[in-house]
Amino acid sequence: MSNLPLGALMVDVQGLALSDHERRFLCSPNVGAVILFTRNFESKPQVRELIREIKSLRTPSLLVAVDQEGGRVQRFKKGFFPLPPIRQFGIRYDAEPQEARSLTRIAGRLMAAELADVGVDFSFAPVLDQANNTSTVIGDRSFHESASVIAELAGEFVNGMNSVGMSATGKHFPGHGGVEGDSHLMKPIDNRSLIELRNSDLAPYQFLASRLGGVMTAHVLFPKITDELPTFSSYWINQVLRQQIGFKGVVFSDDLSMKSAHDAGTPLQRTALALQAGCDMALICNDATNAEFVAQELTGAQTAQYRLETMRIKPEPLPADDEIAHMETQLQRIS
């Protein structure tokens, strides 16, 4: 077992178990976390063993994350409750606000409990983007079109996650709901002003700043504010998010392999720019060759270990089977 501080890269692995090559790669000093995808999941026992092995490679152990939002974005399925799209909670809120708040808190608790049970440290959730009919990539991944309702429901979701020792990560800062394009495939452009954003997309971050463990940046360009993507912008990360909003947690880049980020240069250049701008951890996903190259060639990357450690799952008691069954029954009302 290697004794290494956590590095600044979050990377992925290819299959249901680690190869010898991946074991060596994950011991690179620049690696600090692993994100798991659907291809890494077959069953609870299998993914539990995969995570156990990942965490056995180093001290402190690598962080392990997954996208387990619900609806379209739920990487682990067999044996896990099929979480509804979070838009369903917003729809219920319009009719029964108190019930919606309760169900949203239950969803956050159940999601986090199921992941903690197999050893995952955190899920990249909740989504704080606003619902917008023109944004199909976000769509039902958003709680609501109202920033105040998003903040309220997301706060309940965070409470549920926190109740089993899991930190929450809001995404995608400063907002992805106002654009039609998918940043996986292109560079979306949002022509709103900062004042417009403060009254909309930024409001949930302001409301939840002290309660979020992490924030993930958006690969969306806001040309009326700055000519840099938020992921590569010290203005967005340090001035707006850190100083004005007061966020003190971990800043994750969105995946630097996404098409929207390509104009910033090579994978190594993108990574260096994101870290220099203020990201604590840079994601390179679904591109093993470049992830390994960056891990080998990146120099001078320093991470705030105390911040990264806040994303590690805490040893809180997990719900008993009867509570799990009750939560599932409650959520089936809107699934």
Which of 309, 245, 250 is CA-nearest to residue 281? Answer: 250
- Specify the pLDDT at position 176: 87
User: Does residue 9 sit in helix, strand or coil?
Assistant: strand
Which of 217, 146, 143 is CA-nearest to residue 183? Answer: 217
Share of the chain above pLDDT 70, in %: 96
Helix (H) or strand (E) holding 86: none
- Specify the pLDDT at position 179: 73
Indicate the pLDDT class of residue 180, thresholds 50, 70 and 90: low
Burial of 47 (0-12, 13-18, 19+ CB in 10 A): buried
Catalytic residue numbers read 184, 254
CA distances from 70 to 67, 104, 222 (A): 9, 12, 28
The string of DSSP codes covering 86-102 is THHHHHHHHH-HHHHHH
Q: Which two tokens stand for residue 296?
A: 């080998």
Q: How many CB atoms lie within 10 A of CB 94?
A: 11
* Beta bridge partner(s), residue 251: 215
pLDDT digits (tens, 9 = 90+) for 247-264: 999 999 999 999 889 998
- Specify the pLDDT at position 252: 98
Contact 113, 164 (CB under 8 A): yes
Contact 73, 67 (CB under 8 A): yes
What CATH class is the domain 2-331?
alpha beta
Domain boundaries, given as residue ranges, for the chain: 2-331
CA atoms of 85 and 138, how far apart (whole Å): 11
pLDDT digits (tens, 9 = 90+) for 151-175: 999 999 999 999 999 999 999 999 9
pLDDT, mean over the chain: 94
| The residue type at 140 | D
